[in-house]
A and B are shown apart, each in its own frame.
Chain A
Amino acid sequence: MMKSELIEILAREQNHLAYKDVELAVRCILEQMSSALASGERIEIRGFGSFSLHFRPPRVGRNPKTGESVALSGKHVPHFKPGKELRDRVNQAYQDELARIGQNTDDEDNEDVQASRAAASVS
């Protein structure tokens, strides 16, 4: 899903809002999140996750072309930790998917299927 599709879905569900307003709202939310992180502020969304900064200490890197070493200063990188609800929903959907695939492949061994076939052949 891309930003434009997210805007379309939200506009459809909030049909009392103008498309333009939904588009601006999404941009506004993302800009506020980016600028919070850029000023070192954490973001905490219950059930979704939290964003914070991780510090990467200074290190000596190498110019891959010349092999020359270059001193790289320390920097911060954005980090996301998924919240419990997001983790659980994503994983539950995956487990359901796995169970569906599993069921299709071992239908022949499935006791319920065999039992119902036996019942059908008796009657």
Chain B
Amino acid sequence: MALTKADMAEHLFEVLGLNKREAKDVVEMFFEEIRVALEEGEQVKLSGFGNFDLREKKQRPGRNPKTGEEIPITARRVVTFRPGQKLKSRVEAYVGPER
């Protein structure tokens, strides 16, 4: 089961006592404001969690996997995530699914 926005809103309702509407709005806006900052070309640093960085990629040759036809992949800007030290060490301890 994956964690979703609905789970996060439910958690804010239970733990902080925000009403359901407020909890849903806060979660929605949390992700929207990160998108807006990245859209404006700004890096987002969430200490303890990680950084969302932007990288500019030059145009490079590509291929249509279906037809094999060569088409250039145009220059673009992409988002990358660099987990922070704290998150990395918490995740490292995860041993894997129980078999």
A37 to B92 Cα, complex, angstroms: 10
Query: Is A75 engaged at the interface, CB distance under 8 Å to the other chain?
Result: yes
Give chain B's interface residue range (CB within 8 Å of chain A).
35 or more
User: From B25, which residue of chain A is reached at the shortest CB distance?
Assistant: A14
- Is B3 touching A34 in the complex (CB atoms < 8 A)? no
- Is B90 touching A44 in the complex (CB atoms < 8 A)? no
Give chain A's interface residue range (CB within 8 Å of chain B).
35 or more
Binding site for B on A (CB under 8 A): 1-3, 6, 9-10, 13-14, 16-17, 21-22, 24-26, 28-30, 32-51, 53, 55, 75-80, 82, 85-87, 89-91, 93-95, 97-98
Would you mind naming 28 contact pairs between A and B with Cβ atoms under 8 Å apart? A1-B37, A1-B43, A2-B47, A17-B22, A21-B16, A22-B26, A25-B16, A25-B26, A32-B3, A32-B11, A34-B87, A34-B90, A37-B87, A41-B2, A44-B4, A47-B35, A49-B79, A53-B91, A77-B88, A77-B91, A78-B81, A78-B88, A85-B35, A86-B35, A86-B38, A86-B79, A87-B79, A91-B76
